[in-house]
Structure 1
């Protein structure tokens, strides 16, 4: 029997929003596409010192005015993947599951007993920024090559970026989210075979999340990176699918 092109995503019958549920004991946690209404929830989490100290990308303090542009960007990416899969199902209803270039669900939400949900964080999978390549021109060329590879190419280097509300730290939620995306979507629906992981040195919680998902610590990267006036080194981890061998 052919699966829907959204497989293994479920679809909320009331909102028609696709989602991916985490396994027990965190089965009250789901991953959904971004919503434009999420903007008011980002700042309080990102600005929390337990989160912001480990983030490089967003400006700190993170102001409410930053959220709409970001949400429009990532929601557009998610919507495009969903539309691509629905179109494939329309054109080829009995065809094989199509490989796509990203994961359409990334916002982490807790479903409450009354059926409403609350925003907890974000986990995105993207082509890697190749932090392990220090020389600027060499890195530029490597990024160009990695970003130009066709969807499904097993040599594409991918990575995760994530954060979670401190209220829900140490519950295994991010570990479950990363493992679920990797095994339920990235491998079968994106053709992911090679990933890198980067965490600031000292962020043992994030490093453990990667390691519990099968990533292996390789080395510390010291590229002279400075984040908000502080020099930072990185943990560099790798994950390889068995198809790639040792």
Structure 2
């Protein structure tokens, strides 16, 4: 109930539409990342000139989306719990949910999506969730900080990362704050909850908090 999506209840049809899309994006990013690693390893110890190194390093990962699962680490739990799925985090080009004018939101998305991979002006967006029993353990701040440091900056050239949260979801806001995001604004009544997420009641609206991280 803290998420604008996915649909609830989540049906087999929802899965059949969403999983192929996110799975393809994940495989594509993994392939791009491996290609960069292979190129840099080939250059180590070679006689390649500096311009060649710079050229290869300008290959950027991800045209649109970078999805990750969050799992138990082997060795921390018993064998039947090791590698258990406990959450997910996705980096994607901005959806601009915080722009309430639909025409302006559509225009911003089109401009943002037209930028080439690696362009420092791309507005990226982060969303995540964690199985409730794992809340309060510092997992999500560690995951997000790790992604920013080791993937988003060096392999995607991310300079601006946006995030939103429902106004009552203060734990999510704290995660962003711990990772260096700044609070920008609170948009009252920005999101209308579907009845299935509001005990069958229609028309309930919630405010949307907006946060931003920028590369120093």
Q: TM-score, normalised by structure 2?
A: 0.80
Assess if the C-alpha contact under 8 Å between 1:82 and 1:104 holds in 2: no
Q: Distance in 2 between matches of 1:82 and 1:215?
A: 27
Map 1:3-82; keep pairs closer than 5 Å: 53-82=1-30
Q: Distance in 2 between matches of 1:223 and 1:146?
A: 26
Gaps of 5+ in 2: 44-52, 195-201
Tell me the alpha carbon deviations over residues 170-214 of structure 1, each in whole angstroms, 9 at most, x when there is no partner: 000011111111111001110000111100001010000011010
SS in 1 for 2:72: strand
**Of the candidates 149, 152, 158, which is equivalent to residue 192 of structure 1?**
158
Q: Distance in 1 between matches of 2:36 and 2:89?
A: 26
Q: Distance in 2 between matches of 1:176 and 1:100?
A: 22
Specify the alignment match of 1:110 in structure 2.
72
Map 1:87-166; keep pairs closer than 5 Å: 87=35, 93-94=42-43, 95=53, 96-97=56-57, 98-101=59-62, 106-113=68-75, 114=79, 116-166=82-132
- Bigger Cα Rg: 2
**Of the candidates 179, 182, 191, which is equivalent to residue 145 of structure 2?**
179
SS in 2 for 1:106: strand
- Would you say how many aligned residue pairs link Structure 1 and Structure 2? 190
**Of the candidates 175, 197, 211, which is equivalent to residue 237 of structure 1?**
211
Gaps of 5+ in 1: 1-52
CA RMSD of superposed structures (Å): 2.2
Q: TM-score, normalised by structure 1?
A: 0.70
SS in 2 for 1:179: helix
SS in 2 for 1:83: helix
Assess if the C-alpha contact under 8 Å between 1:127 and 1:159 holds in 2: yes
